[in-house]
């Protein structure tokens, strides 16, 4: 056969290695059958068949029909029942299952094969009329929804889905008769319910519910294939980056029944606790029910065992109590599977009149904390080796361990108000305020506030600092707010497009809801979700094993990990997280923030100066501030390299806007306010990001570069005299030509000699280098390396200039690029290896040609993105640099890249 792979009776055509062809579910059913576990017999129609089905315009391949006949005959022999047989009817399920699990995104139909000719036989054989009609009404509900409405595209006449129509009928019946659960409904009532269902289907969808097992089977198979391109599945694939051409498999499997009475049941379990990682068998089950009841949450499920009972299910009997023998058997299977797969398993099982059947197993999803605990436990238990342990944790999961988080249980029960980009990790609860000043004022009185803005700019920085969380309607993952928030490890959601913000009225409108200043919201910055009111939070307790785990990981990596930090506090935090240096210290940082009033004023005075004398005086006044700031951070980072970037942002950003600021300057400079206004206007640029910034400032005003370089050398000299070992690296930003570098280097060398003389010392160990953030610089890297001892790839700007995408404006179109599969991912979040990466590779090769020992780093936001770190490892960089909270992520990603 070419499309079909059978399983059952301890044998199988496939196995767990064939996930591509059989899907995860099919491959693991085959594997479990081979392990001798009790798997109901069935067969898998391969994902290839799905691909062929779509290629041929949604036609099942002709050869499939005969293959299905042969495969069905085999199951019939194994089960000693016949599909469609009036005396001894076999029922089957048709289950979807893709290569990588897409939980709940595609369709499954149970109890296929029930119809007017098979119902009496099944009643006779089981002696249980209630069960047969319960199974039948489930088939009708699933089939009409999945096959008739969704797959065959029959539009419900009144716009409401058929599933809802039928649920209403069933709920009305239960209400009228005062029944609490489905099991209260009598057999006869169940039977009439089925008749009413079928009439409703005819009425709403305009066609008959099929009364023929074969039609039901073929309809279900087609519907499962079609569900691959259903709306939910499509959007899930976009988010998870799953290719559209993988296709799903269909698993046709003989039914076993958990709804045959009190000795029957169904359940789901995890071989270890997926939330904590504790080595406890954890799960839920329901007596007298079919599989989907547990996941759909229609009844509170019972706990699996006594150790894992919790407050909401303590009153219900555990499986351990109710069916001790079966529980022991299941516990044995848990151990078998966990050892076989060497990982935590998520399993589905059903008990039919005292007999246990296994219906699914797969590697279970887990929280970051659980992943860490399980990996270390399994290593200790000898289930996995050390390399596997290090690879078991997705680096991004480390985030959770460093920040307080919204309790996932609480989130499950709540619908989010809105969704944005998950820009800063962790959770936050606070009262909303609409201006930076309010945030600061409210925070001073001890209130927890969320700063809500359309977008943020440098002037909001204090409000952002004061707020526990930040929420913006615009901006992308590398927008200012996002960058800053991540640096601080602050919860932040940007680009929540559904928000209409009115700062004047202090109102936030989302759809029909209006929120006023002081109203409480909860943010999940790790997932980008906004909730109304206050959700429970979970303390991100410092996991004692975290450090031990990271130490093991560190032994495997070659890349060094530095941090982007501009203050002694951030530097100290980064050191705690394991940073080995600073890859980016932005000197302009001192002009933003709480203590910036004086330096900012002096900077403004300097940029509004007309004559060189005016400017020199302003620079002289500014100098001690700059030196002091640099020295404080160099002191904290003693013995570790610190890359200090010369002034980078366009002067435009510092031009005084408010009248108050302008008046102050006019007094200080003794010029009239109109002149100040005129000079401000002169500095305004129409495209500041490509305007007068970076090295260009140093070309126009060499005295600015000289002042900064002097501050770096003098700060270092003084530390050396105190017996410390500062390792400054001077970095020139926004260069595109080696002569720019030479220009600044000449200044640097002159200032260096002057500093040595002034302090009477013989040397200050340092390096001189450049950012590579303009494509031209990358392509001329051999020339740049003549003057640069190191390159640091500024991949935020390099991405912006390579794509021509303004990084502050991508919010308005990036989603459309992702939705239409034009881009797989936002290139500002994860490095575009095709082109931006290519430019890096070119620079590395050219740079090393000129200077074989050139030091190579990356200081863009990508330095904390695992896929980008992996690229940097391959490209042969020396180090990556990222915000302090991402240092552990980069360390782990670097270790995994080297494995
Ligand atoms: P999903 O991928 O959404 O979990 P499944 O194909 O696993 O969908 O099926 C949904 C539910 O139906 C599960 O709880 C499963 O255990 C149950 N189920 C599927 N096939 C059978 C079967 N042959 N006998 C009994 N229960 C089944
Ligand atoms: Mg399942
Ligand atoms: Mg830059």
pLDDT in tens, 628-650: 999 999 999 999 999 999 999 88
Q: Which residue has the tokens 């197993």?
A: 361
Q: Which two tokens stand for residue 321?
A: 């109590």
Annotated binding site for substrate: 586, 645, 773, 794-797
pLDDT confidence bin for 860, thresholds 50/70/90:
confident
Q: Are residues 762 and 852 in the same domain?
A: yes
Q: Which of 291, 292, 347, 358 to mutate to test the pocket of ligand 1 (most atoms within 8 A of CB)?
A: 291
Classify residue 400 by burial, with Cβ atoms within 10 Å: 0-12, 13-18, 19+: buried
383 within a domain of the structure (yes/no): no
Compute the distance between CA of residue 586 and CA of residue 607 in angstroms, rounded to an integer: 18
Contact (CB, 8 A) for 27 and 16: yes
State yes or no: pLDDT of 174 exceeds 60: yes
Which pLDDT belongs to residue 487?
Answer: 66
Q: What was the ipTM of the complex prediction?
A: 0.97
605 within a domain of the structure (yes/no): no
Distance 819 CA to ligand 2 centre (A): 27
Q: Which residues are CB-neighbours of 134 under 8 A, at least 6 positions away?
A: 182, 185, 190, 259, 290
Q: Are residues 107 and 120 in the same domain?
A: no
Q: Are residues 409 and 478 in the same domain?
A: yes
Distance 360 CA to ligand 2 centre (A): 6
Q: Are residues 250 and 312 in the same domain?
A: no
Ligand nearest to the CA of 106: 1
pLDDT tens-digit profile of 22-49?
A: 999 999 999 999 999 999 999 999 999 9
Q: Which two tokens stand for residue 397?
A: 């999961």
Alpha-carbon distances of 858 from 396, 558, 749, rounded to whole Å: 19, 15, 25
- Of 423, 516, 519, 405, which Cα lies nearest the Cα of 464? 423
The overall average pLDDT reported for the chain is 91
Q: Are residues 191 and 163 in the same domain?
A: yes
Average pLDDT (283-311) is: 81
Q: Are residues 747 and 860 in the same domain?
A: yes
Alpha-carbon distances of 889 from 394, 482, 607, 863, 885, rounded to whole Å: 9, 17, 40, 10, 8
Compute the distance between CA of residue 32 and CA of residue 340 in angstroms, rounded to an integer: 10
What residue owns the CA closest to ligand 1's atom 22?
255
Compute the distance between CA of residue 229 and CA of residue 502 in angstroms, rounded to an integer: 40
Average pLDDT (734-761) is: 98
Catalytic residue among 49, 115, 491, 859: 859
DSSP 8-state code for residue 347: E
Which pLDDT belongs to residue 408?
Answer: 84
DSSP 8-state code for residue 22: H
pLDDT tens-digit profile of 130-161?
A: 999 999 999 999 999 999 998 777 776 677 88
Contact (CB, 8 A) for 136 and 189: no
Which pLDDT belongs to residue 1?
Answer: 58
Distance 97 CA to ligand 2 centre (A): 9
Ligand nearest to the CA of 649: 3
Classify residue 262 by burial, with Cβ atoms within 10 Å: 0-12, 13-18, 19+: exposed
Could you tell me the strand order of the sheet in which 491-494 lies? 418-419, 529-532, 520-524, 427-433, 449-453, 469-472, 491-494, 421-424
pLDDT tens-digit profile of 362-406?
A: 998 887 888 999 999 999 999 999 999 999 999 988 877 777 789
pLDDT tens-digit profile of 473-491?
A: 887 665 667 767 776 778 8
pLDDT confidence bin for 298, thresholds 50/70/90:
low
Contact (CB, 8 A) for 592 and 553: no
Distance 253 CA to ligand 1 centre (A): 9
One DSSP character per residue, 728-755 reads EEEEE-S--SHHHHHHHHHHHHHHHHHH
Helices of type H across 701-835: 702-721, 738-759, 775-779, 781-787, 795-803, 814-819
Q: Which of 32, 33, 92, 110 to mutate to test the pocket of ligand 1 (most atoms within 8 A of CB)?
A: 110
Q: Are residues 57 and 162 in the same domain?
A: no
Cα angle 126, 127, 129 (rounded to 5 degrees) comes to 100
Could you tell me the strand order of the sheet in which 11-12 lies? 11-12, 4-8, 42-45, 248-254, 92-98, 108-112
Annotated binding site: 586, 645, 773, 794-797
Catalytic residue among 403, 480, 766, 873: 480
State yes or no: pLDDT of 164 exceeds 90: no
Annotated binding site for Mg(2+): 773, 797
Which pLDDT belongs to residue 703?
Answer: 93
Distance 348 CA to ligand 2 centre (A): 7
Compute the distance between CA of residue 403 and CA of residue 486 in angstroms, rounded to an integer: 11
Helices of type H across 381-431: 386-391, 398-402, 408-412
Compute the distance between CA of residue 630 and CA of residue 257 in angstroms, rounded to an integer: 71
Q: Which of 101, 114, 227, 292 to mutate to test the pocket of ligand 1 (most atoms within 8 A of CB)?
A: 292
Which pLDDT belongs to residue 477?
Answer: 62
Last residue of a domain, one of 366, 394, 420: 366
pLDDT tens-digit profile of 881-890?
A: 999 989 999 9
- Of 346, 301, 359, 353, which Cα lies nearest the Cα of 323? 353
603 within a domain of the structure (yes/no): no
| CATH number where 203 lies | 1.20.80.30
181 within a domain of the structure (yes/no): yes
466 within a domain of the structure (yes/no): yes
Q: Are residues 109 and 124 in the same domain?
A: no
| CATH number where 98 lies | 3.30.1490.20
What residue owns the CA closest to ligand 1's atom 1?
104
Contact (CB, 8 A) for 358 and 40: no
What residue owns the CA closest to ligand 1's atom 15?
291
pLDDT confidence bin for 605, thresholds 50/70/90:
confident
What residue owns the CA closest to ligand 1's atom 10?
292
378 within a domain of the structure (yes/no): no
State yes or no: pLDDT of 594 exceeds 60: no
Atom of ligand 1 nearest to the CA of 291: 14
Which pLDDT belongs to residue 652?
Answer: 77
In the structure, which protein residues have their CB atom closer than 6 angstroms to any atom of ligand 1? Answer: 40, 93, 95, 104, 108, 110, 253, 255-256, 291-292, 348, 350, 359-360
Classify residue 511 by burial, with Cβ atoms within 10 Å: 0-12, 13-18, 19+: exposed
Ligand nearest to the CA of 291: 1
Q: Which two tokens stand for residue 517?
A: 């200043």
pTM: 0.80
Last residue of a domain, one of 339, 366, 393: 366
Q: Are residues 164 and 285 in the same domain?
A: no
State yes or no: pLDDT of 14 exceeds 70: yes
Compute the distance between CA of residue 110 and CA of residue 293 in angstroms, rounded to an integer: 12
Q: Which two tokens stand for residue 238?
A: 């976009």
What residue owns the CA closest to ligand 1's atom 17?
291
- Of 590, 642, 575, 481, which Cα lies nearest the Cα of 884? 575
Which pLDDT belongs to residue 194?
Answer: 97
Domain hosting 567: range is: 556-584+610-647+691-898
Q: Are residues 164 and 60 in the same domain?
A: no
**Angle, helix 129-143 to helix 187-205, in steps of 10 degrees:** 20
pLDDT tens-digit profile of 653-684?
A: 887 878 888 888 888 878 888 988 888 888 88
Average pLDDT (295-301) is: 65
Which pLDDT belongs to residue 468?
Answer: 93
| CATH number where 348 lies | 3.30.470.20
pLDDT confidence bin for 356, thresholds 50/70/90:
very high
Q: Which of 45, 93, 257, 266 to mutate to test the pocket of ligand 1 (most atoms within 8 A of CB)?
A: 93
Q: Are residues 250 and 274 in the same domain?
A: no
β-pairing, 421-424 vs 427-433, is unpaired
Contact (CB, 8 A) for 403 and 885: yes
Distance 596 CA to ligand 1 centre (A): 62
pLDDT confidence bin for 72, thresholds 50/70/90:
very high
Phi, psi of 561 (to 5 degrees): -125, 120
Distance 209 CA to ligand 2 centre (A): 26
Q: Which residues are CB-neighbours of 776 under 8 A, at least 6 positions away?
A: 736, 737
* Residue 859 falls in the annotated catalytic set: yes
What residue owns the CA closest to ligand 1's atom 19?
93
DSSP 8-state code for residue 365: P
Ligand nearest to the CA of 266: 1
387 within a domain of the structure (yes/no): no
Contact (CB, 8 A) for 794 and 801: no
Atom of ligand 1 nearest to the CA of 108: 6
Contact (CB, 8 A) for 878 and 872: no
**Angle, helix 887-898 to helix 866-875, in steps of 10 degrees:** 50
Which pLDDT belongs to residue 312?
Answer: 63
Ligand nearest to the CA of 584: 3
Average pLDDT (727-756) is: 98
Q: Which residue has the tokens 């260069």?
A: 735
Last residue of a domain, one of 178, 211, 244: 211
HSE value, Cβ hemisphere, 13 Å, CA-based, for 319: 31
DSSP 8-state code for residue 99: S
Q: Are residues 107 and 130 in the same domain?
A: no
Q: Which two tokens stand for residue 629?
A: 């700031």
Compute the distance between CA of residue 741 and CA of residue 764 in angstroms, rounded to an integer: 20
What residue owns the CA closest to ligand 1's atom 9?
108
State yes or no: pLDDT of 620 exceeds 90: yes
Which pLDDT belongs to residue 391?
Answer: 97
Phi, psi of 815 (to 5 degrees): -60, -35
State yes or no: pLDDT of 208 exceeds 80: yes
Q: Which helix (H) or strand (E) holds 791?
A: strand 790-793
Q: Which helix (H) or strand (E) holds 889?
A: helix 887-898
Number of domains in the chain: 5
Distance 183 CA to ligand 1 centre (A): 20
Contact (CB, 8 A) for 546 and 535: no
Contact (CB, 8 A) for 750 and 788: no
* Residue 480 falls in the annotated catalytic set: yes
394 within a domain of the structure (yes/no): no
Contact (CB, 8 A) for 509 and 499: yes
β-pairing, 92-98 vs 108-112, is antiparallel
State yes or no: pLDDT of 569 exceeds 70: yes
State yes or no: pLDDT of 895 exceeds 90: yes
- Of 478, 471, 467, which Cα lies nearest the Cα of 453? 471
Which pLDDT belongs to residue 745?
Answer: 98
DSSP 8-state code for residue 147: I
């Amino acid at each position: 056969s070419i499309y079909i792979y059978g399983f059952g009776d301890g044998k199988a055509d496939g196995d767990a290695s064939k996930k591509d062809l059989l899907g995860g579910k099919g491959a693991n059913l085959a594997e479990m059958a081979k392990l001798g576990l009790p798997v109901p017999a069935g067969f898998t129609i391969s994902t290839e068949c799905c691909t062929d089905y779509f290629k041929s315009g949604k036609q099942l391949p002709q050869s499939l029909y005969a293959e299905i006949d042969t495969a069905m005959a085999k199951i019939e022999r194994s089960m000693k029942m016949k599909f469609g047989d009036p005396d001894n009817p076999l029922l089957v399920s048709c289950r979807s299952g893709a290569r990588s699990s897409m939980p709940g995104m595609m369709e499954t139909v149970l109890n296929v094969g029930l119809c007017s000719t098979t119902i009496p036989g099944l009643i006779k054989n089981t002696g249980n009329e209630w069960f047969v009609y319960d199974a039948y009404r489930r088939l009708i509900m699933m089939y009409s929804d999945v096959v008739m409405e969704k797959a065959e595209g029959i539009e419900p006449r009144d716009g409401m889905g058929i599933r809802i129509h039928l649920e209403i009928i069933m709920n009305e019946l239960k209400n009228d008769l005062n029944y609490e659960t489905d099991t209260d409904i009598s057999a006869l009532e169940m039977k009439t319910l089925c008749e009413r269902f079928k009439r409703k289907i005819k009425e709403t969808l305009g066609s008959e519910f099929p009364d023929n097992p074969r039609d039901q089977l073929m309809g279900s198979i087609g519907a499962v294939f079609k569900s691959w391109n259903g709306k939910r599945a499509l959007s899930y694939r976009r988010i998870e980056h799953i290719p559209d051409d993988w296709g799903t498999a269909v698993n046709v499997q003989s039914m076993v029944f958990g709804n045959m009475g009190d000795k029957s049941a169904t359940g789901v379990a995890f071989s270890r606790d997926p939330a904590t990682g504790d080595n406890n068998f954890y799960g839920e089950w329901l007596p007298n029910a079919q599989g989907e009841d547990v996941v759909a949450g229609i009844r509170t499920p019972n706990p699996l065992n006594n150790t894992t009972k919790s407050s909401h299910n303590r009153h219900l009997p555990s499986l351990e109590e109710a069916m001790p023998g079966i529980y022991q058997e299941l516990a044995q299977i848990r151990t078998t599977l966990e050892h076989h797969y060497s990982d935590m398993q998520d399993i589905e099982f059903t008990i039919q009149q005292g007999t246990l059947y296994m219906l699914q197993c797969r590697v279970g999803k887990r929280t970051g904390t659980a992943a860490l605990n399980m990996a270390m436990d399994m290593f200790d238990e000898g289930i996995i080796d050390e390399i596997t342990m290090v690879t078991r944790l997705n680096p991004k999961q480390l985030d959770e361990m460093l920040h307080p988080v919204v309790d996932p249980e609480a989130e499950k029960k709540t619908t989010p108000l809105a969704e944005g980009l998950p820009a800063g990790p962790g959770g936050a609860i606070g009262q909303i305020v609409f201006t930076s000043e309010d945030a600061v004022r409210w925070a001073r009185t001890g209130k927890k506030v969320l700063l809500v803005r359309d977008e943020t700019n440098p002037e909001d920085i204090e409000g952002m600092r004061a707020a526990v969380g930040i929420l913006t309607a615009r901006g992308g993952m590398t927008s200012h707010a996002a960058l800053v928030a991540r640096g601080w490890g602050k919860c932040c959601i940007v680009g929540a497009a559904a928000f209409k913000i009115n700062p004047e009225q202090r109102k936030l409108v989302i759809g029909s809801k209006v929120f006023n200043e002081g109203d409480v919201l909860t943010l999940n910055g790790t997932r980008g979700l906004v909730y109304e009111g206050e959700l429970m939070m979970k303390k991100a307790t410092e996991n004692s094993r975290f450090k031990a785990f990271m130490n093991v990981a560190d032994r495997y990596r070659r890349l060094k990990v530095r941090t982007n930090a501009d203050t002694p506090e951030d530097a100290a935090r980064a050191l705690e997280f394991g940073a080995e240096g600073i890859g980016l210290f932005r000197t302009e940082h001192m002009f933003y923030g709480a203590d910036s009033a004086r330096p900012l004023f002096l900077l403004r005075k300097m940029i509004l100066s007309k004559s060189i004398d005016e400017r020199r005086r302003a620079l002289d006044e500014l100098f001690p501030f700059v030196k002091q700031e640099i020295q404080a951070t160099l002191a904290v980072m003693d013995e570790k390299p610190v890359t200090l970037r010369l002034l980078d942002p366009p002067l435009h950003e510092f031009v005084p806007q408010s009248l108050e600021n302008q008046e102050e300057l006019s007094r200080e400079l003794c010029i009239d306010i109109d002149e100040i206004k005129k000079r401000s206007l002169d500095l305004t640029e129409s495209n500041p990001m490509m305007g007068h910034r970076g090295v260009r400032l140093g070309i126009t005003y060499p005295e600015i570069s000289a002042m900064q370089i002097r501050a770096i050398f003098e700060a270092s000299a003084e530390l050396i005299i105190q017996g410390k070992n500062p390792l400054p690296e001077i970095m020139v930003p926004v260069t595109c030509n080696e002569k720019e570098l030479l220009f600044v280097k000449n200044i640097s060398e002159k200032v260096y000699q002057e500093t040595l003389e002034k302090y009477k010392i013989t040397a200050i160990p340092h390096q001189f280098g450049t950012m590579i953030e303009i494509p031209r610089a990358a392509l001329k890297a051999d020339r740049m390396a003549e003057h640069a001892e190191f390159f640091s790839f500024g991949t935020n700007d390099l991405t912006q200039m390579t794509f021509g995408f303004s990084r502050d404006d991508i919010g308005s179109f990036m989603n459309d690029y992702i939705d239409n599969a034009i881009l797989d991912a936002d290139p500002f979040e994860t490095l575009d290896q095709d082109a931006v990466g290519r430019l890096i590779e070119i620079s590395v090769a050219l740079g090393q040609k000129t200077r074989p020992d050139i030091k190579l780093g990356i200081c863009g936001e990508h330095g904390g993105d695992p896929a980008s770190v992996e690229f940097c490892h391959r490209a042969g960089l020396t180090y990556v640099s990222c915000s302090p909270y991402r240092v552990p992520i980069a360390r782990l990603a670097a270790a995994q890249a080297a494995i």
